[in-house]
Structure formats: structure tokens, C-alpha cells
């Protein structure tokens, strides 16, 4: 009978039991750290909190990570880097800086709606100065700077533009995640409205910003 396993499945099948166990334990530590840090931030979570949530012995933590900071790096890579890489690939053929940022903002907002905990962690990370060094924050700052240098965006200060845009996105994420009903808050079309607001901050004409923010998304 023909083997139904894919090459990847075969590779996992050949992996030694100890290696599989180690990989599974590492994944549990990353997942538990993500859930805890989404609520408390890296500084508010201790290693023993993570190992207890993952049901892993405290001593075995150091078989996988040299420090809590190293685990945090792995969490950020797992949570944001793959998504940011996907966004980069999605807009690779887009020549308009405004369109690229609009696509990134809308997809980010849509993912927050699908995965609230991901959004909570993004708020935590977005309020940290670490956001300029990696992940979505780093890509956003890069794209704003590139758009300014190309003359597409009117702002002359990339950093303050990043602060203004980042604040707008984070507040919109907080609104998406909020469980209270407030008649002053309307969530309808929030990804598109957020993208349009971001483009207006960057100096795009309001009518053009609205039009760009409502272009059909590709996946």
C-alpha cells in the first residue's frame, strides 16, 4: 500500500522520541508565556509562573531557554514575526506606500478580531520601546520612513509619525477588544476606518485615504 505520509510527516516520524519531547515542551513554554504575557507583560510574569502554566518542571526551563528574556524573544517571533513576514510578502508587488500601509493595518485589525489574545499581546508589545526593534512596529516604522523619503507622505518626522500612527492603531485595537457597550463607539468598518485615519495622519488627502482603505483585500 502506498505510504500516505508526506516528506515532512516522515521527517517527524524519524525524529527521535527525546527530540520530539523536547520540541513539544519548548512549544508549551512559548504558548504559556504568550498567554500570561498578553495579560501581564513580560515584566509581570515570573519563570515559575510560566513553568507552572505549562506543567513543566522549573529546572527544565533552562534546557530550552537561558533566560526569561530569551523566552520572550521566542514568543515575539512566534506571535508577530511570521505574521509580519506574511504581510511583507502580501504587499511585495504593491508600489504605493499608502496602499501597503493600509493593507497591513486592515489585516492586523482583522486578526485582532479573530484572535483577541493576539491583540492583547500586541497592545502590550506596542506600548513598549521594544516595538521599534522588531515585529510589526519595526516594519511600520520602516514603511513610514520609506513613504516619507519617496515623497508619498507629507510628514517630515518619521518617528513622530510612527508615534501618532501607532497610537491610533493601538486605540482601535483596544476598542475592538473592549467588552463594554458604549453608544459613542462604533465598531462597524473599524479596520477600514483605522487605515483611513492612519493615511490621513501621514498626509494623504482624506478622500483618497478613504478610497485606498476600502480597496478589496487580497489574501
Tens digits of per-residue pLDDT, 5-21?
444 555 556 778 768 88
Output the nine-digit C-alpha cell for 19.
Answer: 527530540
pLDDT at 4: 44
Delimiting residues of CATH 1.10.357.10 domain(s) in the chain? 79-213
Delimiting residues of CATH 1.10.10.60 domain(s) in the chain? 7-65
Query: 49: buried, middle or exposed (CB in 10 Å: 19+, 13-18, 0-12)?
Result: middle
Query: What is the SS3 assignment for 130-146?
Result: HHHCCHHHHHHHHHHHH
- The answer as to CATH 1.10.357.10 being correct for domain 79-213 is yes
Task: Give 65's pLDDT tier (boundaries 50, 70, 90).
Answer: very high
Q: What is the mean pLDDT of residues 165-177?
A: 93
* Closest by CA position to 119, among listed 216, 191, 17: 191
pLDDT at 11: 53
pLDDT one-digit tens code per residue, 66-101: 999 999 889 888 888 888 899 999 999 999 999 999
Give CA angle at 26 (37, 46), nearest 5°: 35
37, 68 Cβ separation under 8 angstroms: no
pLDDT at 124: 80
Tell the CATH superfamily of the 7-65 domain.
Homeodomain-like (1.10.10.60)
* Closest by CA position to 166, among listed 142, 184, 140: 140
CA-derived radius of gyration, the chain: 20
Alpha-carbon distance values, 113 to 12, 87, 116, 131, 153 (Å): 33, 17, 6, 21, 28
Global pTM reads 0.80
Q: What is the mean pLDDT of residues 58-70?
A: 92
Amino acid at each position: 500500500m502506498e505510504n500516505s505520509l508526506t516528506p515532512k510527516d516522515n521527517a517527524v516520524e524519524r525524529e527521535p522520541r527525546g527530540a520530539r519531547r523536547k520540541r513539544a515542551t519548548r512549544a508549551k513554554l512559548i504558548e504559556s508565556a504568550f498567554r500570561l504575557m498578553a495579560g501581564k507583560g513580560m515584566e509581570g510574569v515570573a519563570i515559575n509562573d510560566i513553568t507552572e502554566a505549562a506543567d513543566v518542571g522549573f529546572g527544565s526551563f533552562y534546557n530550552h531557554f537561558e533566560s526569561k528574556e530569551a523566552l520572550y524573544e521566542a514568543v515575539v517571533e512566534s506571535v508577530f514575526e511570521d505574521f509580519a513576514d506574511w504581510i511583507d510578502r502580501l504587499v511585495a508587488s504593491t508600489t504605493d506606500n499608502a496602499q501597503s500601509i493600509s493593507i497591513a493595518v486592515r489585516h492586523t485589525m482583522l486578526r485582532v478580531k479573530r484572535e483577541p489574545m493576539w491583540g492583547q499581546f500586541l497592545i502590550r508589545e506596542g506600548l513598549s520601546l521594544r516595538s521599534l526593534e522588531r515585529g510589526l512596529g519595526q516594519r511600520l516604522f520602516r514603511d513610514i520612513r520609506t513613504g516619507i523619503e519617496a515623497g508619498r507622505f507629507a510628514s517630515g518626522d518619521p518617528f513622530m509619525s510612527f508615534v501618532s500612527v501607532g497610537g491610533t492603531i493601538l486605540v482601535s485595537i483596544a476598542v475592538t477588544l473592549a467588552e463594554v457597550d458604549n453608544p459613542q463607539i462604533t465598531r462597524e468598518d473599524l479596520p477600514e476606518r483605522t487605515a483611513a485615519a492612519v493615511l490621513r495622519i501621514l498626509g494623504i488627502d482624506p478622500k483618497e485615504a478613504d478610497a485606498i482603505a476600502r480597496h478589496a483585500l487580497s489574501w
